[in-house]
Amino acid sequence: MHQLSATNRSMRFSNRGMTLEKDINATNTFYRDRNKAVIHKKPTPVQIVNVHYPKRSAAVITEGYFKQPSTTDYNGLYRGRHIDFEAKETKNKTRFPLANIHEHQIKHMKSITDHGGICFLIIRFSAHDETYYLPTESFFPFWDKQFNGGKKSIRYETVKDKGYLIPFHFQARVDYLSIIDQLYF
């Protein structure tokens, strides 16, 4: 695991009862409230096909489908740079399955990286109560190797080695900007 500084050591809070997405959303709200960054969860475009109106004031969507494949989960701006990332949580103790990521997401992430954006994955190993920032530059070789006889997953130990442990804080629960600050600024 990369250590960026002594102050970057993880504070462990077992059984926080929060999902990764909720933690990131709370973090992004904290960043926006303090005018530190503008990063949002991207909505998935859905085509509504059928709606049931049991009452005039209440509508229930009964049928819909995804208009197009989604790209990544989050994007925005930080210190004048485009930020784009995918967040994944796994219960697996020993590996991160590459099947959790889709080809269209990889194409999008490669495009962001090629155009100078800061692109990464946030991976939480819930069994270890650890969350990692994994730069796409470290992730892409594993993705590409799986099509040439390579493994279909990344070992937990490899994510620890190639990634950066994200510190947990009460307000910025998944403080990924602290890592971006040290890697890019």
* Chain segment 43-80, per-residue pLDDT in tens: 766 777 788 888 777 888 788 776 666 789 899 999 99
Average pLDDT over residues 140-144: 96
Of 92, 111, 91, 88, whose CA–CA distance to 100 is shortest? 88
Give the count of beta carbons closer than 10 Å to the beta carbon of residue 119.
25
Residue 30 has pLDDT above 70, yes or no: yes
Residue 62 lies in a domain: no
pLDDT at residue 5, as a whole number: 45
Torsion angle (degrees, nearest 10) of CA 96, 82, 170, 20: -30
**Inter-residue contact 133 to 166 (CB < 8 Å):** yes
Residue 5 lies in a domain: no
Can you spell out the DSSP letters for 28-90? Answer: HHHHHHTTS-EEEEPPPPEEEEEEEEEETTEEEEEEEEESS----SEEEEETTEEEEEEEEEE
80 Cβ contact partners less than 8 Å away, ≥ 6 residues apart: none
Residue 22 lies in a domain: yes
pTM: 0.81
Residue 91 lies in a domain: yes
pLDDT at residue 115, as a whole number: 97
pLDDT at residue 1, as a whole number: 60
User: Can you tell me the distance from the alpha carbon of 12 to that of 42, in angstroms, rounded to the nearest whole number?
Assistant: 29
The domain total for the chain is 1
Mean pLDDT taken over the chain: 87
Residue 174 lies in a domain: yes
- Residue 132, CB-side half-sphere exposure with 13 Å CA sphere: 26
Q: What is the pLDDT of residues 94-137, one digit of tens each?
A: 999 999 999 999 999 999 999 999 999 999 999 999 999 999 99
Of 163, 115, 156, whose CA–CA distance to 139 is shortest? 163
| Domain of 20, in residue numbers | 16-43+70-184
Percent of the chain with pLDDT over 70: 86
**Inter-residue contact 83 to 74 (CB < 8 Å):** yes
Residue 49 lies in a domain: no
Residue 9 lies in a domain: no
CATH number for position 37: 3.40.1350.10
**Inter-residue contact 136 to 101 (CB < 8 Å):** no
Range from 17-26, 85-94, 108-117, 154-163 carrying the lowest mean pLDDT? 17-26
